[in-house]
Amino acid sequence: MNHDDILFGILGNAFHCPVLGEFEFLENVLITINTDGEIDSLLKPDEYAVSDIMEVLERENRLVRLKEKQYLIPGLIDLHCHAPQWPQMGKGLDLPLYNWLANYTFPLEAKYQDLEFAKRVYDDLVQSTLSSGTTSAVYFSSIHLEPTRVLADTCLEKGQRAFVGKVCMDDVEQCPDYYRQSVEKSLYETEAFHQYVSTMSGNHGLISSVVTPRFIPSCTEGLLKELGQFATNNNCYVQTHCSESDWAREYSQQKYGETDISVYEKTGLLGRKTILAHSIFLTEQDVIKIQDYGASIAHCPLSNMYFANAAMETRELLNRGLHCGLGSDVAASVTPSMLRSCFDAVTHSRVREEGTSTKLAAGERGEAKTRISFLEAFWMATTGGGKALDKNIGVFRRGFSFDAVLVDANIQDCDLKIWQALDSASDILEKIISTTNRQNIIKVWVQGREVVCKQ
C-alpha cells in the first residue's frame, strides 16, 4: 500500500476527552499524520498488526515511538491571554482591577510601539506558551497596529495557532491620554490588521485576526457599533471582557442601564465567533443570549479568584452545554500553563461548593453540587476550547489537526511520578493534569509541525 501522504506516525499511549467528564485511554495507538498536518488515522494494535504501515514508517524513519511513561495529550488551548502583559506576570496582584490596569498594565502596554521591545517580549512569550503545551492561543495585543503585526508574525514563525486582536479603546474618561485611540484610528487599524493577516504569506489558516474592544468601560458606544459592524461584515472573531467584576458590571448598569451582554448584542458584537472572557455576573437572559448566538466563554479561574469578587458558575454553564473553555488571563495569572488553569478551575469550583465561613453550618456554607472534575477542566482546555473556536482541534480524531503535547514522566527532579503498579489510567491522567511541570513537556506539535523539541 502507498503511504506517501503520511508525514509521520506516532506509536504509544495517549489520552483525550472527546466527551465532557469522560476520558479515553488510547493504549499503544498508532496515530498517523498526513502532509496537511491532519490526523489521517488512529489504529489500534490489532489494526496496525495486519497492515504494512508500521514497517513502511519504520523503514523510512517516519515513526516516533514513545517510551514507557511518555504520554500524548491534545494540544492545550488558551482562550484568553494578554500578550503585552507578559513582563507584568507576578506583579501587582494585590491591587483591585481598576488600579492594576492604571498602575501597571496601561503604562506597560503603551511601550510596545518600540518594535524591538515588542519582538523581544513576544519571542519569549510565544516560546514559553508553546513550551507549556499551548498549541492555540487567543491573544489580546496592545492598541497599536505595528506591534500587533509583530505578535502575529512571531506566532506564525514559531508555529503557534493564534487568534490575535489589536485592542481598541477610546473613552476619554476611562483611558489615559497616552493610551487610547480615536474611533477612526481604532477602526482603520483593525481593518488594516485584518487585511494583513488575510494576506500573510505561509499563513494557511494558522493565524486569525480578532476584533478586540477591550471592555465596556474603555469603549464608547460609537466604537462598539463600528467594531460590531466590521466583525459582522467580515465574519471575524471577536474577543472582549464580559461582566468580570462588580465594578465592571456596575459600570455598564450606570452607563447603559443594561448588562454587558445586552450591550454587545445591540452593538453587533455577539455571535458564534465571539469569545467572552470571564462572564461572572450573568443574568438568566444573558446566558440564554450567549447560548442562542453560540458565543463562547473563556473561564479564567486564577484571575477570577483575585479580581472577580465572586465565583464563576462553571458547573451550571457546562450543564447547559454552553461553549466554554479556559483562559490563562496572563498577567492576571502567574503561569501560562493551561494545565495549571485546569487545576485552578477545579480548586475554584471546590471552594465555591464547600463555602468558606466557619461560622455557618456545613450545609449552609457553600453552593451544593457546583464542583467540576479534573476531567471536565481538561475537557475545557482541549475539546471545549476547540468547540469555542469552531476548529477541528482538541481531540485525536481523523481529520482533526494534529496539535499534540508529549508529556514525559521519566524526567528527574520533577513532580510527575507514575507508579506503574499503583496508578490506573485514570490516576495517570489526573497526575498529568495536576503535576506536569514545563520540563515534562518534551515535544509539541501544531498542525503536524514539531514546534518544541527538548530531546
d(CA 64, CA 58): 9
In whole angstroms, the minimum distance from the beta carbon of 139 to Zn ion comes to 11
Helix-, strand-, coil-residue percentages of the chain, each rounded to 5: 40, 20, 35
Which residues are registered as beta bridge partners of 164?
139, 209
d(CA 346, CA 376): 9
Q: DSSP H helical segments within 257-402, as ranges?
A: 260-266, 284-293, 301-307, 314-319, 338-354, 362-365, 374-379, 385-389
Contacts of 267 (CB under 8 A, 6+ apart): 221, 224, 225, 227, 228
Task: Closer to Zn ion by CB, 71 or 307: give it.
Answer: 307
Task: Closer to Zn ion by CB, 224 or 407: give it.
Answer: 224
Tell me the three cell numbers of residue 64.
516516533
In whole angstroms, the minimum distance from the beta carbon of 95 to Zn ion comes to 15
Residue 455, number of CB atoms within 10 A of its CB: 6
Task: Closer to Zn ion by CB, 300 or 441: give it.
Answer: 300
Task: Closer to Zn ion by CB, 38 or 329: give it.
Answer: 329
Task: Closer to Zn ion by CB, 66 or 302: give it.
Answer: 302
- Rounded to 5°, the CA angle 67-68-70 comes to 70
d(CA 216, CA 256): 10
In whole angstroms, the minimum distance from the beta carbon of 327 to Zn ion comes to 7
Task: Closer to Zn ion by CB, 132 or 245: give it.
Answer: 245
In whole angstroms, the minimum distance from the beta carbon of 53 to Zn ion comes to 45
d(CA 319, CA 301): 18
In whole angstroms, the minimum distance from the beta carbon of 214 to Zn ion comes to 9
What SS3 string covers 101-166? HHHHHHHHHHHHHCHHHHHHHHHHHHHHHHHCCEEEEEEECCCCHHHHHHHHHHHHHHCCEEEEEC
In whole angstroms, the minimum distance from the beta carbon of 226 to Zn ion comes to 22
Helix/strand/coil for 416 = coil
Number of residues in contact with Zn ion under rule CB under 5 A: 1
Task: Closer to Zn ion by CB, 170 or 329: give it.
Answer: 329
In whole angstroms, the minimum distance from the beta carbon of 80 to Zn ion comes to 6
Query: Hey, what amino acid is at 28?
Result: N
Task: Closer to Zn ion by CB, 64 or 162: give it.
Answer: 162
Phi, psi (degrees; rounded to nearest 5) at 451 = -110, -15
Element (H, E) at 223: helix 221-234
In whole angstroms, the minimum distance from the beta carbon of 199 to Zn ion comes to 29
Binding mask 325-364 for Zn ion (x = CB under 5 A): ----x-----------------------------------
In whole angstroms, the minimum distance from the beta carbon of 277 to Zn ion comes to 5
Task: Closer to Zn ion by CB, 329 or 376: give it.
Answer: 329
Residues of this chain that bind Zn ion (CB under 5 A): 329
